[in-house]
Amino acid sequence: MSAVFIISAPSGSGKSTLVRHLLRSDPNLVFSISYTTRAMRGQEVQGGSYHHIERAEFEERIARDEFLEWAQVFGNYYGTHRGIWDRACAEGKDLLLDIDVQGAAQLKKRIPDAVSIFVLAPSRQILEQRLRDRSEDSEAVITRRLAAAAEEIRNYERYDYVVVNEVVQDAVETLHSIIRAERVRRQRMEDRIRPILDTFAALMHTSSGEK
Ligand code: 5GP
């Protein structure tokens, strides 16, 4: 079964950059393209970062129970389609999701084995600076995003890992380490271990009960 890695972070934490680095360097990871009712912005294309759909269609899909999880974030619907998980399993790939704290909690209930990672900017001041540097948002939106960040950060304890994104390359390395270790833990490398145990078989029989 595929491993599931959830990454959550307040906007401005540099999460998208980290996700891009991970996907570029790990061919066994596939990104979960969410459905959203948010309008496309900037360079976005349909089916790129998101499948953009109307609210009515999203609500119909909720009614048909098509989502593994869904939530409203900043007034828009976002959801992870069930098909994503089925496809990743069929392809033998691990799944990487960039979803908010509400979605992460729902997904953990559905897939308890999912690994959750919270990404934090090193401070409020740095987060604010990053939001301003993006120059994507108005002053009012920046204020709203900072307030939302303060709320989201309170949930960090519910995550399996917290990664501070101070230097991108270091954070990417840490994320790779988490992914590598979790894969080993899951597979437990049974295929490799059994032949090794076989080489000890004779000793195991003769030494049983002896000190
Ligand atoms: P943005 O619109 O800036 O790309 O994303 C806004 C927020 O929605 C981010 O915190 C992102 O993690 C979250 N998000 C994106 N896709 C999903 C999803 O499928 N489910 C949930 N619960 N949140 C999502």
* 3-class SS string, the chain: CCCEEEEECCCCCCHHHHHHHHHHHCCCEEECCEEECCCCCCCCCECCCEEECCHHHHHHHHHCCCEEEEEEECCEEEEEEHHHHHHHHHHCCEEEEECCHHHHHHHHHHCCCCEEEEEECCCHHHHHHHHHHHCCCCHHHHHHHHHHHHHHHCCHHHCCEEEECCCHHHHHHHHHHHHHHHHHHHHCCHHHHHHHHHHCHHHHHHHCCCC
Measured by CA distance, the residue closest to atom 2 of ligand 1 is 38
pTM over 0.85: yes
d(CA 29, CA 10) in angstroms, rounded, equals 22
Residue 137 CA, ligand 1 centroid: distance in Å: 17
Neighbours of 200 (CB within 10 A): 10
**What pLDDT shows up at residue 105?**
97
**What pLDDT shows up at residue 32?**
97
For each of the domains in the chain, give its residue range(s) and CATH number, in order of start.
Answer: 4-32+93-210 (3.40.50.300)
**What pLDDT shows up at residue 210?**
53
Averaged in consecutive runs of 10 residues, what is the pLDDT profile of the chain (211 residues)?
93 92 96 96 89 98 98 95 94 96 96 96 93 82 90 95 96 97 83 88 70 51
Residue 196 CA, ligand 1 centroid: distance in Å: 45
Pocket test for ligand 1, best of 98, 109, 116, 153 (most atoms within 8 A of CB): 98
Residue 112 contacts residue 186 (beta carbons within 8 Å): no
Pocket of ligand 1 (CB under 6 A): 11, 34, 38, 69, 71, 73, 78-80, 98-100, 102-103
**What pLDDT shows up at residue 107?**
96
**What pLDDT shows up at residue 78?**
98
Pocket test for ligand 1, best of 17, 20, 34, 159 (most atoms within 8 A of CB): 34
**What pLDDT shows up at residue 208?**
54
Residue 38 CA, ligand 1 centroid: distance in Å: 10
